[in-house]
A and B are shown apart, each in its own frame.
Chain A
């Protein structure tokens, strides 16, 4: 069985500060891991994904995430927050040979001027 836990339903940072959104997963098979972003009144769009190549994954808009198997984590970071980063972020996990993706509960990011 697979599951995802996102630590913190809300995170607030100042513009220009580091963004760190935490995600821990559980999977009985080698996982594929994703971060999606949802802007207000829109569907989700892919930020980045890990598919067993490099453990440090770079995505769009300056975001990156590091797969740490020993910690079962896939935290999302961005060195300097921008006002346009305010959105809800979802971590997700799926496995080989399957279609189902399990999503975390989401973390809403607020960026203060």
Chain B
């Protein structure tokens, strides 16, 4: 069965802390994504990666960075957490088949991050 796991379901951090959110997929997928989900705004893409060590900015990359050292693992880093980064963070992966836009996205359960 397809599996995307995220390191924490709930996380509470203080303003200014460095925060790491980890995502692991066991499907040998090429592409991985980080979204944030806010009420009334749907999902917004922060960063995505189409290959190991490759990354592309999404629509809202400011204040975030990512790392993909291994194919199965994609990390989201908040260099200095701020209260406006309080949100639900969702990781997803896709196989990377031809016609990538048609791929189904497989989501992890999400990490609800609160920054105080």
Chain A interface residues toward B at CB < 8 A: 4, 9, 32, 34, 36, 41-46, 49, 51, 90, 94-101, 103-106
Residues on B with beta carbons closer than 8 Å to the beta carbon of A4: 42
Partner of A49, one of B42, B43, B92, B104: B104
In contact, B109 and A100 (Cβ under 8 angstroms): no
CB pair B42–A98 under 8 Å, yes or no, is no
- Identify which of residues 1-60 in chain B touch chain A, using a CB-to-CB cut-off of 8 Å: 4, 9, 31, 33, 35, 40-45, 48, 50, 56, 58
Known contacts A103-B43, A105-B41; is-contact A98 B104 (Cβ 8 Å): no
B31 (CB) vs chain A CBs: closest residue:
A99
Contact between chains at B42 and A103 (CB < 8 Å): yes
Are the CB atoms of A94 and B107 closer together than 8 Å? no
Of all A-B residue pairs in the complex, the 7 with the closest CB atoms, nearest first, are A43-B107, A94-B101, A103-B43, A103-B42, A105-B42, A44-B107, A51-B102
Tally of A-B Cβ pairs under 8 angstroms: 70
Report Cα–Cα, A94/B43, bound state, in Å: 14
- A46, B105: Cβ atoms closer than 8 Å: yes
A90 CA / B105 CA spacing, docked (Å): 13
Least CB distance, A34 to chain B, in whole angstroms:
8
Q: List residues of B (63-116) whose CB comes within 8 Å of A's CBs.
A: 90, 92, 94, 99-102, 104-105, 107-110
Q: A73 to B101: give the CA distance in the assembly, Å.
A: 18
Contact, CB under 8 Å: B101 / A42: no
Q: Which residue among B33, B99, B109 has the maximum number of chain A CB atoms within 10 Å of its CB?
A: B99
Docked pose: A9 CA to B107 CA in angstroms: 22
Q: Say yes or no: A99 contacts B108, CB within 8 Å.
A: no
A49–B105 Cα distance when bound, in Å, is 11
Contact A94 B102 (CB under 8 A): yes
Whether A43 lies near B4 (C-beta < 8 A) is yes
Which B residue's beta carbon lies closest to that of A41? B109
Rounded to whole angstroms, the CA-CA distance of A98 and B48 in the bound complex is 12
B-side contacts of A95, CB under 8 Å: 101
14 contacts between A and B (CB under 8 A): A34-B104, A36-B105, A36-B107, A41-B9, A41-B110, A44-B90, A46-B105, A94-B102, A98-B101, A99-B31, A100-B48, A100-B58, A103-B44, A105-B42
